């Protein structure tokens, strides 16, 4: 310890600047200008950084981040970039699948003669190319080898004016029955009926229909990741 050092008292609150030293004793001037006698053994030299820590603040001179901390930050940033790229890739794959379906449909249509509508009507559904059969109805979409049927009422009709809830439900069930009839010969075919979560009225009606009219078919909730709670997958038997 020397004159001019900044000290803090060990046995009392406060401290100040050492103004004189006499043997084992010293004089400390506090921030108000008063000199306080003290034993040197009861004083400890402090720095501005020590004061900052004592006040609960970050030290004036912080140590540089460790290599492991820098590496963790780098890995987190890379993970965020990969998640973003993964989302973009999924979207691109979805777009390519849809484009592929459109091209396959165009090719199939080009192979059919001008009277293809008659041929469609006279050919058993299980003998028709699935792409052509599915894409003949606007509310159906082929996703890989799974048929999606959107039973939301706005996907089935252009205008719901004059339709109450009961009429809408009847129409949705008519489409469900028609779809089951269309694919009744395609054993193993998976059909996802998108009914939405709502109050569960349409879903219950579909399950009741399956139990009553199609007991040989199996059904389960469709993929939660893709449809949430709003779809039922039926496998034709």
Euclidean distance between CA atoms 199 and 120, whole angstroms: 38
Q: What is the pLDDT of residue 124?
A: 55
| 118 within domain boundaries | no
- If asked whether residues 150 and 191 sit together in one domain, one would say yes
With beta carbons less than 8 A apart as the criterion, state whether 155 and 162 touch.
no
d(CA 234, CA 237): 9
Q: What is the mean pLDDT of residues 60-75?
A: 68
In a domain, 228, yes or no: yes
- The residue assigned the tokens 């004592």 is 54
The C-alpha angle with vertex 135 and arms to 165 and 137, in degrees rounded to 5, equals 30
In this prediction, residue 51 carries a pLDDT of 56
The fraction of the chain above a pLDDT of 70, given in percent, is: 77
Q: Which residue has the higher pLDDT, 94 or 53?
A: 94
Neighbours of 222 (CB within 10 A): 23
Q: Is the pLDDT of residue 206 over 80?
A: yes
- Flag whether 76 is in a domain: yes
Q: CA triplet 186, 177, 150: central angle to 5 degrees? A: 85
Q: Which residues contact 133 (CB under 8 A, 6 or more apart)?
A: 120, 125, 182
Q: Across all residues in the chain, what is the average pLDDT?
A: 81
pLDDT at res. 194: 95
**Average confidence (pLDDT) over 192-198:** 90
- The mean per-residue pLDDT over the stretch 44-67 comes to 60
Shared domain for 128 and 231, answered yes or no, is yes
Task: Examine residue 214 and state whether it is found in any structural domain, yes or no.
Answer: yes
Measured distance CA(120)–CA(140) in Å, rounded: 17
Question: Is residue 183 included in any domain, yes or no?
Answer: yes
- pTM of the full predicted structure? 0.49
Per-residue pLDDT of 109-126, as tens digits, reads 665 554 444 455 555 555
pLDDT in tens, 88-110: 888 888 788 777 766 766 665 66
Domain at 191, CATH number: 3.30.1370.110
Dihedral Cα 110, 116, 119, 125, nearest 10 deg: 70
Within a domain: residue 82?
Answer: yes
- The domain in which residue 163 lies consists of 124-235
As beta bridge partners, residue 134 has none
The confidence score (pLDDT) of residue 209 equals: 94
Q: How far apart are CA 235 and CA 191, in angstroms?
A: 6
Same domain, 38 and 135: no
Let me know if residue 177 belongs to a domain: yes
Measured in whole angstroms, how far is the alpha carbon of residue 144 from the centre of its chain? 23
What integer pLDDT is reported at residue 58 of this predicted model? 47
| Residues 200 and 136 both lie in one domain | yes
Indicate whether 206 belongs to any domain: yes
Q: What is the pLDDT of residue 125?
A: 54
What's the burial of 124, exposed, middle or buried (CB within 10 Å: 0-12/13-18/19+)? exposed
Q: What is the pLDDT confidence band of residue 222, given thresholds at 50, 70 and 90? A: very high
- Asked if 187 and 135 sit in the same domain, the reply is yes
Count of domains forming the chain? 3
More confident residue, 161 or 55: 161
């Amino acid at each position: 310890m020397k004159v001019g050092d900044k000290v803090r008292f060990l046995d009392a609150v406060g401290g100040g600047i050492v103004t004189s030293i006499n043997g084992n004793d010293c004089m400390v001037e506090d921030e108000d200008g008063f000199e306080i006698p003290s034993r040197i053994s009861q004083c400890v030299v402090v720095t501005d950084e020590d004061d900052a820590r004592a006040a609960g603040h970050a030290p004036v001179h912080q140590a540089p981040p460790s290599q492991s901390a820098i590496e963790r930050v780098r890995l987190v940033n890379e993970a965020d970039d990969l998640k973003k790229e993964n989302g973009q890739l999924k979207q691109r794959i979805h777009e390519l699948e849809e484009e592929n379906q459109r091209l396959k449909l165009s090719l199939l249509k080009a192979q059919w003669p001008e009277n293809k509508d008659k041929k469609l009507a006279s050919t058993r559904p299980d003998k028709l190319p699935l792409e052509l059969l599915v894409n003949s109805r606007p509310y159906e979409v082929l996703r890989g080898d799974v048929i999606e049927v959107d039973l939301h009422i706005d996907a089935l009709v252009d205008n719901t004016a004059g339709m109450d809830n009961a009429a809408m439900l009847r129409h949705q069930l008519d489409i469900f029955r028609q779809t089951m009839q269309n694919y009744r010969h395609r054993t193993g075919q998976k059909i996802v009926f998108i009914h939405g979560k709502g109050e569960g009225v349409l879903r219950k009606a579909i399950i009741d229909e399956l139990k009553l009219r199609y007991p040989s078919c199996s059904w389960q909730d469709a993929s939660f990741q893709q449809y949430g709670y709003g779809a039922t997958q039926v496998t034709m038997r």
